[in-house]
């Protein structure tokens, strides 16, 4: 039987999920430019802009997950 996740495991899993989400949005933005035959610079700019958007989306989708002290106060 599998037990509950520890606080450290939960934090690590949340961080991996956030990083994966940012990379996914950034890669999607970069791939959108491919049909127009972009230069490497244009592709990189699109990837970086998409990654910035991904960071904003992570901030909106996962509210309050960066506040470790807030999580500790909520638990008994």
* 5-33 tens-digit pLDDT: 888 888 888 889 999 999 999 999 999 99
Place of tokens 């807030």: 70
* pLDDT at residue 66 in the model: 60
Of the candidates 3, 1, 2, 5, the residue with the CA atom closest to the CA atom of residue 75? 5
pLDDT of 76 above 90: no
pLDDT at 3: 80
**Under the phi-then-psi rule, with left for phi > 0, alpha for psi from -120 to 50, and beta for the rest, what region is 6?**
beta
pLDDT at 62: 80
Residue 58 to residue 44: CA distance in whole angstroms: 21
The pTM of this model reads 0.74
Q: How many CB atoms are located within 10 Å of the residue 18 CB?
A: 19
Angstrom distance (rounded) from CA 3 to CA 17: 21
């Amino acid at each position: 039987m599998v037990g509950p996740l520890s606080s450290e495991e939960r934090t690590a899993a949340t961080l991996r999920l956030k990083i994966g989400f940012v990379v996914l949005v950034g890669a999607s933005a970069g791939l959108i430019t491919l049909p127009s035959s972009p230069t490497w610079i244009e592709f990189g700019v699109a990837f970086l802009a998409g990654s910035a958007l991904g960071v904003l989306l992570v901030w909106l989708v996962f509210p309050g997950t960066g506040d470790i002290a807030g999580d500790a106060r909520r638990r008994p």
